Structure 1
Amino acid sequence: MDFKMHEYTHAIVGKVTPALRLTDKADFNDARRQHDCYLRLLRELNVDVLEVDLAGTFPTNVVVEDIGIINHGIALLPRQLDSGEEYKMKKIREILKRELGQSIIEVADPDAKILGSDVLFTGREFFVGISETSNEIGASAVAEAFPEFPCTPIKVSKGAQHLKKYITVAGPDILCVGASKEAKELLKRIEREATFSYQTLTVPEDDAANCLYVNGTLIHRAIEEIPDSFKVFCEKIDFARRSICFSELAKISTGLSGCCLLVRKP
């Protein structure tokens, strides 16, 4: 594996600003505090955090994962998600291109559906969760944008959430997966279709499955939020780990991956 695949220089994040319309799913003040801690931790891991005022309302102004699939100096941007996100897309596109030197590829096919939260990159290959939010045409766009990596569509069970809600990368060749029926089914499909082999770290709580592996460090949620899974991380992970409270932000996103776009500047 090219370990630089999990080394990042920058993170694009939305600025948490008092919004015109607040969601009732998450407490705004707690979410803002958690977001501050999240940004501080990324900076401690030598990531240059670009905090961008994306306008709009909370939580759409802090959940940025779906805006793009970024890897190897290329940013694949889906077709505009909805009319209200035009400014957000434009702002992030400008930063990716001008400040971070990424080559921009925009999904051209009007029938293509692809969201970042449905796309898992292991460092060796892509898996795209096929559901209501991402389809086979969208998966083909990922394959075309990153031809040097295998790209496999994986069917997500009806009613299940985004792929990265259940499975993420927890380290070099390690997949972190929840213990629910949906998570196990997805893992089975991935293992059957994968070009490469991976170790799996199964965590008892699905809420623990979405983690971030950044610059040699695993970021997962705090003990008070995932007590059983926290023990698993302690017992099984023998490299750097950091934990963080993310309860409010997780209510409005897939989890830790949902609030940043990680980029390696060429």
Structure 2
Amino acid sequence: MANASPYGRFTHAVVRGIPESFGQEGGALAVDLAKAQRQFGCLTGALRQKVGLQLIEIPPDPELPDSWRVEDVAIVQGGTALVTRPLKQQRRSEAVALKKVLTELNLTVVEMGAEGGGSGGPTLEGSDVFFTGREFFVSVSTHTDRRGAEVLADTFRDFTVSTVPVCGGVRLRDICSMGGPDTILISSSSGAQRTLRTMAQLSDYEYNFLTVPEESAANCVYVRGPSNRDFLLHRPAEECPASVSTFQKLQDYTLLPTACSEASKAGACLSSLCLLINRKHTPA
């Protein structure tokens, strides 16, 4: 087991622009492309200008309508990046541009391929993976199977990797996120609370838990910025009015309300749009 290290120290954020084909994969709600692009711009602006991260933006690709969900395609911890294997065949092409960026950041890139070279094989997406800085939790879903979780464990052998159930067809990152080095933000829904109890039973660590009344508010982006200030990007009052008072309990934090309504309509959340990385040096 790896030595416990505080969560939230990041230097870079990798993002990918919203393509003109955004929302064409279908969904329960109609999306507004222009609004989605504005919201994406606000997110990237906050990460770069307010938090102080070095932003690496991969150009959008209209042939890859889901490629803006960059979190799904790689799991990064320390100097290693595991390029995942999404469920949809088309999404696996998203890794090409991302691998180039990860290599330029001098990360050791591990690719998750099909076993035996066939079309079958394990599947893993970042939306099903929750890293606390001390251990990994993975939800087995329609997008991530048990073999995918095993590949994650094989790649990051210094960390415990536990599988946990998630109810109602949601993804693990939909219902929880880190709200600080030792704080887990989690939805108050009955399903999320069941998942939380399982996580607590499997973990050797003690965390503080901050419960939000709206499930869509449970996914936030916490960063201890280069200035050693605590930043929390969270859904704004217009989108999650009942949860704002909960965020305000985080004293001495810089709260950054960040809209995500259009990505949410497409089944994503705030953390889906960025891949956070901690590197000591900027690539030459």
Report if TM-score (shorter chain) is over 0.5.
yes
Match of 2:73 in 1: 67
Match of 2:244 in 1: 230
Rate the CA distance shift 1:132–1:53 in 2: closer, same or farther, 3 A: same
1:203 and 2:212 are equivalent in the alignment: yes
Check whether the contact 2:81–2:109 (CA below 8 A) recurs between aligned residues: yes
Q: Pick one of 159, 162, 165 that aligns with 1:155.
A: 165
What CA distance in whole angstroms lies between the structure 1 residues aligned with 2:88 and 2:259?
A: 30
Rate the CA distance shift 1:58–1:141 in 2: closer, same or farther, 3 A: closer
Match of 1:38 in 2: 43
Match of 2:88 in 1: 82
* Aligned residues with identical type, % of pairs: 31
What CA distance in whole angstroms lies between the structure 2 residues aligned with 1:213 and 1:75?
A: 20
Deviation digits for residues 218-243 of structure 1 (CA, Å, limit 9, x no counterpart): 11111111111101111344423221
1:55 and 2:69 are equivalent in the alignment: no
Letter in 1 for 2:95: M
Check whether the contact 2:32–2:262 (CA below 8 A) recurs between aligned residues: yes
Match of 2:186 in 1: 177
Match of 1:128 in 2: 138
Match of 2:127 in 1: 117
SS in 2 for 1:227: coil
What CA distance in whole angstroms lies between the structure 2 residues aligned with 1:71 and 1:131?
A: 22
What CA distance in whole angstroms lies between the structure 2 residues aligned with 1:153 and 1:86?
A: 23
SS in 1 for 2:243: helix
Rate the CA distance shift 1:63–1:134 in 2: closer, same or farther, 3 A: same
What CA distance in whole angstroms lies between the structure 2 residues aligned with 1:229 and 1:198?
A: 20
Deviation at 1:88, TM superposition (A): 1.8
Rate the CA distance shift 1:254–1:185 in 2: closer, same or farther, 3 A: farther
Deviation at 1:18, TM superposition (A): 2.7
What CA distance in whole angstroms lies between the structure 2 residues aligned with 1:221 and 1:179?
A: 16
Where structure 2 has 5 or more consecutive residues not aligned to the other structure, the ranges are: 225-229
Q: How does 1:139-154 map to 2 (within 5 A)?
A: 139-154=149-164
SS in 2 for 1:240: strand
What CA distance in whole angstroms lies between the structure 2 residues aligned with 1:256 and 1:16?
A: 14
SS in 2 for 1:200: strand
Check whether the contact 1:80–1:89 (CA below 8 A) recurs between aligned residues: no
Letter in 2 for 1:170: G
SS in 2 for 1:26: coil
What CA distance in whole angstroms lies between the structure 2 residues aligned with 1:135 and 1:18?
A: 31
What CA distance in whole angstroms lies between the structure 2 residues aligned with 1:81 and 1:135?
A: 9
Check whether the contact 1:125–1:195 (CA below 8 A) recurs between aligned residues: no
Deviation digits for residues 174-231 of structure 1 (CA, Å, limit 9, x no counterpart): 0000111111111111111112111100000001000011123111111111111101
Match of 2:147 in 1: 137
> What's the TM-score once normalised by structure 1's chain length?
0.91
Rate the CA distance shift 1:59–1:243 in 2: closer, same or farther, 3 A: farther
Letter in 1 for 2:242: D
SS in 1 for 2:222: strand
Deviation at 1:58, TM superposition (A): 7.3
Deviation at 1:57, TM superposition (A): 5.0
Letter in 1 for 2:83: L
What CA distance in whole angstroms lies between the structure 1 residues aligned with 2:188 and 2:22?
A: 38
SS in 1 for 2:249: helix
What CA distance in whole angstroms lies between the structure 2 residues aligned with 1:21 and 1:224?
A: 22
What CA distance in whole angstroms lies between the structure 1 residues aligned with 2:250 and 2:60?
A: 38
Q: Pick one of 203, 206, 217 that aligns with 1:194.
A: 203
SS in 1 for 2:157: coil
Check whether the contact 1:210–1:254 (CA below 8 A) recurs between aligned residues: no
How many equivalent residue pairs? 263
Check whether the contact 1:54–1:87 (CA below 8 A) recurs between aligned residues: no
What CA distance in whole angstroms lies between the structure 2 residues aligned with 1:264 and 1:10?
A: 6
What RMSD, in angstroms, separates the aligned Cα atoms of the two structures?
Answer: 2.0
1:249 and 2:263 are equivalent in the alignment: yes
Where structure 1 has 5 or more consecutive residues not aligned to the other structure, the ranges are: none
Check whether the contact 2:122–2:148 (CA below 8 A) recurs between aligned residues: yes
> What's the TM-score once normalised by structure 2's chain length?
0.86
Out of 236-245 and 168-177, give the one that drifted further.
Answer: 236-245
